[in-house]
Structure 1
Amino acid sequence: MRRVIGIGGIFFKAENPAALASWYEEHLGVPIDKSFGGYSFNWNNQNQRPMNGYTLWSPFKEDTEYMKPSSKNFMFNFIVDDLEELLQVLEEEGINQLNSMQDTEFGKFAWIMDPENNKIELWEPAEE
């Protein structure tokens, strides 16, 4: 019997769900479906460049510093097409990058915070 085969969603509490969804739509391009206030990613039908990205589920130790400066017990990771370009646009929109972008064997990584102090990891997977 097959059990878990992927990530089915990211669900979290928000002080103002509509305003936060609008922020994600404006600054990260998540096309919010107004009928339920979220978005369903269908990676098979995205008109993006081919990527070798994947969805990762990973528990961290309770005392991890990785989610800092957020005090939340979670962090979002979003795959992006062109991280350097997105970071330039976000800076123009007044959204500051945390630390420096990292270029690793897995791809490029950068971090920002949303208006409710949730840390967001932006990831451009390495080319195949």
Structure 2
Amino acid sequence: MGVTGFGGLFFRARDPDALNLWYRTYLNIGAGCSTGDGPANEWYWQAQGGPTVFAPFKADTAYFAADKGFMINLRVTAIDSLIADLAAAGIAAETRLDWDSPETGRFARIHDPEGNAIEL
């Protein structure tokens, strides 16, 4: 097989520039951002390697909004600290005990300014 990983995520936005700035500001994602695993580059986000789940859901799933075709899931460190930083910026994070599991970790859900679900 020639595929070696995820090369990008592309999605429509009403205001791409504002949404790009939001992701860069609050989640350190986007062109010019780096997790420290390599130098920042003006064209892409230098992400840290690790497992990636690629999983289509049933069309009628209740796991994320019915009017959205996708949900972004991000690996994070220090989730409590990130949730506190987001709350300080006025970004609400939802947590539920039934989302957490010993095998995969703890989860929280936020939404970007255009209503796209982001699972942390």
TM-score, normalised to structure 2's length?
0.79
CA RMSD of aligned residues (A): 2.1
Q: Distance in 1 between matches of 2:110 and 2:54?
A: 20
- Structure number with greater CO (CA < 8 Å, separation at least 6) is 1
**How many percent of aligned residue pairs carry the same amino acid?**
39
Which sections of structure 2, spanning at least 5 residues, go unmatched?
Answer: 33-40
Report what 2:18 is aligned to. Answer: 19
Taking structure 1 as reference, are residues 57 and 111 closer, same or farther at Cα in structure 2, changes over 3 Å only? Answer: same
Q: Which has the higher strand share?
A: 1
Q: Secondary structure at the match of 2:107?
A: strand
Q: Distance in 2 between matches of 1:61 and 1:20?
A: 27
Report what 1:81 is aligned to. Answer: 77
Report what 1:58 is aligned to. Answer: 55
Q: Distance in 1 between matches of 2:114 and 2:30?
A: 19
Report what 2:35 is aligned to. Answer: none
Contact 2:93/2:108 (<8 A) preserved: yes
1:67 to 54, 64, 69: 64
After TM superposition, the structure 1 = structure 2 runs for residues 1-128 of structure 1, keeping only pairs within 5 Å, are: 2-33=1-32, 36=43, 39-43=44-48, 53-68=50-65, 71-100=67-96, 102-105=99-102, 106-122=104-120
**Partner deviation per Cα, 1:3-61 (whole Å, 9 max, x = no partner):** 4332121110111111001001111122533955xx333425xxxxxxxx411100000
